[in-house]
A = this chain, B = another copy of it.
Amino acid sequence: MDKITMEGVTAYPLKRIAVDNGDILHAVKATDDGYAGFGEVYFSQIREGAVKGWKRHNRLTLNLVVPAGEIRFVLYDDRPGSATCGQFEAITLSPDKNYRRLTVAPGIWLAFQGIAPGVSMLMDLIPEAHDPEEADKKTLAEINYSFSL
């Protein structure tokens, strides 16, 4: 599930450093591939089984990390001219099983689902502060994907 083939999407491995009293988990460095500048970093919680989406950022590159729980990200590419137009891609991230930074270029549809019991959490680092005008939304029914667990 680590092989992302969608144009503009990369899942970079992240370091988790074992420490007796609690581990250190890397997230984003300014020198990282995929880093596009700092505007804001925020968290989004997602309950087990729940899905947030679809959302498409038209200007912002996302850098997504899951520091707690487990989250399935589903990407959909409908960009005309993209080599992967029409494709879906899914990747499940967690600090324990698959700790990666997911970089998503503008123009790609994204939805995500809580997989772990309780509440999972993502961190998103974006190159500008949040601007609702910059993103488009669709209901889950408008893009055909099965989110069954």
A interface residues, Cβ below 8 angstroms from B = 19-31, 38-47, 50-52, 67-68, 114, 119-121, 123, 125, 129
CB within 8 Å for A22 and B114 given contacts A29-B40, A123-B27: yes
Additional 17 contacts, C-beta under 8 A, given A21-B52, A22-B120: A19-B45, A21-B46, A21-B50, A21-B114, A22-B119, A23-B44, A24-B42, A25-B43, A25-B44, A26-B40, A27-B41, A27-B42, A30-B38, A41-B123, A41-B125, A43-B67, A67-B68
- Give the chain B neighbours of A67 by CB distance below 8 A: 43, 67-68, 121, 123
Which residues on B sit within 8 Å (CB–CB) of A27?
40-43, 123
Chain A residues touching B, majority SS: strand
Cβ of A45: which chain B residues have Cβ within 8 Å of it?
19, 22-25
